[in-house]
Amino acid sequence: MSKIIKGGTIVTPKGSFAADLRIEDNKIAEIAEQLPADGAEVLDATGCLLFPGFIDAHTHFDMSTGTALTADNFHSGTRGAIVGGTTTIVDFATQEKGETLVQALKNWHAKADGVSSCDYAFHMAISDWNPSVRNEIDTMVAEGVTSFKLYLAYDNLRVSDGELYEILKCVRDVHGIIGVHCENGDLVNEMIAEKRAAGELTPAAHPASRPDFVEAEAVSRYLYIAEASDAPVNIVHLSTKLGFDEVLKARAKGQKVYVETCPHYLMLDESRYNLENFESAKYVCSPPLRKKEDQQCLWTALKNNDIDTVSTDHCSFNFKKQKEQGRDDFSKIPNGMPGVEHRPAVMYTYGVCENRITKEQMAAQLSENTARLFGMYPQKGAMLAGSDADIVVWDPSFKGTITAQHMQQNVDYTPYEGLAVTGRPKAVFLRGQQVVQDGEVIAEHCGAYVHRHESEYYPQHG
């Protein structure tokens, strides 16, 4: 039976308009001003906005850091995603040292297949580059993995500059896209050692050991190496004005640089590291929370379309037991925060309602741009006839408060505790099936793997 979503306002990056939308099986069949019911199941969306299903291209579910396993796996993480309006996540399949990429991908499928409540894809995080791994890049593309992640910090994960150069060229040749975690790993190690030697062991030492120039230097180096390898690139979780300035310099030379930031860099600042009773550990993530000036810069960059995507870097660890591993030494606090469930509401409330971005930009930054960059458009990220019927019926009149007491994320806190939000999904459709109703998951484990094609390298700035 077909379904009609009636009376809503369709929101797209190019503009918004009142229309009805008809779903046939798992696809969008038709969008028109008035559609006759003709026996279809009708959902009344009067007063609601219809967004393309949101995409979060930065989650770490069921991931071990070596000392801690993330609190959220694909069961709880994707329930959190879908209830908030995120219909697709792209998680980081991560190669262990000595492992093949094929094995790493198999491991991640085993975690996600049959478990996920939203659609899912994988970036491949490469930690052990060698000639046989190079030969696996084509296999990854054939498996629908067309984006790769590299770290410039974290000793168990990071690649050298030479490896970065080589991998960039290799991935460019298959029209994939690399995303890099930009922090200078040597400097971070040195500064952590300095803090420990000085007896500075509280969470306040965490941001002090990862200052803004540590990010900016890594961004700059990455972008020079990208220029030399003639590769378009993505920067994940950009957090500083200093780093953003490096992006502008590279773009002024004509380089294609895509940039992601995360809600926590927009909403929270470094004052969270001065809380009492070790509460600051909740906010220990890398890069760390920054200054108000950095926040302002990131919001302005979103407004100017200079930042392309907003994803979460959802990487949750329980405050009790897990974050507590670092009670006597900040460098032992597992890095990361939850966020996948709350990104759409936070961005709608503090972005759209506060006039920092438009709702059309929200559709771009949380959905369409992400789909294009990661080779999913127009299957995902679009409300066009033939696209997957991933639709968020957004009720802008809803008022609520974020609290860990009522969330799907399986972690004992949220960094947004007590935050007032406006708007939530009245309904979420995943490939035509309604899976969320008014804050409740009504069908779970319906997620499917998204086999991605090459990156679009869409034109960015005019």
Which H or E element spans position 186? helix 185-197
315 is a contact residue toward ligand DUC (CB under 6 A): yes
- Residue 396: phi, psi to the nearest 5? -75, -5
| CB nearer to Zn ion: pick between 25 and 186 | 186
Answer for the pair 94, 122: CB distance below 8 angstroms, yes or no.
Answer: no
In angstroms, rounded to a whole number, what is the distance separating the alpha carbons of residues 305 and 16? 18
| CB nearer to ligand DUC: pick between 261 and 335 | 335
60 is a contact residue toward ligand DUC (CB under 6 A): yes
Shortest Å distance, C-beta 336 to ligand DUC = 3
- Mark residues 351-390: x for contact with ligand DUC by CB under 6 A, - for none: ----------------------------------------
Is the four-CA dihedral 127, 131, 132, 134 of positive or negative sign? positive
| CB nearer to Zn ion: pick between 168 and 436 | 168
Residue 168: name its binding partner from Zn ion, ligand DUC, none (Cβ under 5 to 8 Å by kind).
Answer: none
Residue 223: name its binding partner from ligand DUC, Zn ion, none (Cβ under 5 to 8 Å by kind).
Answer: none
Residue least distant from Zn ion (Cβ): 181
Shortest Å distance, C-beta 335 to ligand DUC = 4
With CB under 6 A as the contact rule, the residue among 286, 379, 409, 414 that binds ligand DUC is 286
Look at residues 57, 67, 56, 58 and name the one whose alpha carbon lies nearest to residue 317: 67
Residue 146: name its binding partner from ligand DUC, Zn ion, none (Cβ under 5 to 8 Å by kind).
Answer: none
How does DSSP classify residue 461? -
Shortest Å distance, C-beta 93 to Zn ion = 13
**Beta-bridge partner residues of 177:** 147
Span interacting with Zn ion, options 181-189, 216-224, 408-416, 443-451, rule CB under 5 A: 181-189
339 is a contact residue toward ligand DUC (CB under 6 A): no
181 is a contact residue toward ligand DUC (CB under 6 A): yes
With CB under 6 A as the contact rule, the residue among 85, 263, 336, 351 that binds ligand DUC is 336
Span interacting with Zn ion, options 161-169, 305-313, 358-366, 439-447, rule CB under 5 A: 305-313
Angle, helices 241-252 vs 212-229, to 10°: value is: 20
In 10 A of CB 66, how many CB atoms?
A: 10
Residue 336: name its binding partner from Zn ion, ligand DUC, none (Cβ under 5 to 8 Å by kind).
Answer: ligand DUC
Count of chain residues binding ligand DUC (CB under 6 A): 8
With CB under 5 A as the contact rule, the residue among 136, 260, 313, 368 that binds Zn ion is 313
User: How many CA atoms within 13 Å lie on the side-chain side of 131?
Assistant: 0
The DSSP code sequence of 40-81 is: -EEEE-TT-EEEE-EEEEEE--S-B-SS-B-S--HHHHHHHH
Helix spans in 85-160 (H): 101-112, 131-134, 137-142
The DSSP code sequence of 304-356 is: TT-S-EE---B----TTTTGGGGTT-GGGSPP-B--TTTHHHHHIIIIITTTS
**Beta-bridge partner residues of 260:** 309
Question: No. of H helices and E strands in the chain?
Answer: 14, 17
| CB nearer to Zn ion: pick between 181 and 195 | 181
181 is a contact residue toward Zn ion (CB under 5 A): yes
Which H or E element spans position 195? helix 185-197
Shortest Å distance, C-beta 124 to ligand DUC = 15
386-405 residues in contact with ligand DUC (CB under 6 A) are none
| CB nearer to ligand DUC: pick between 288 and 432 | 288
Who's near 79: CB < 8 A, 6+ residues apart? Answer: 117, 408, 441, 444
Q: Which residues sit at the interface with Zn ion, rule CB under 5 A? A: 181, 313
Residues that bind ligand DUC (CB under 6 A): 60, 181, 285-286, 313, 315, 335-336
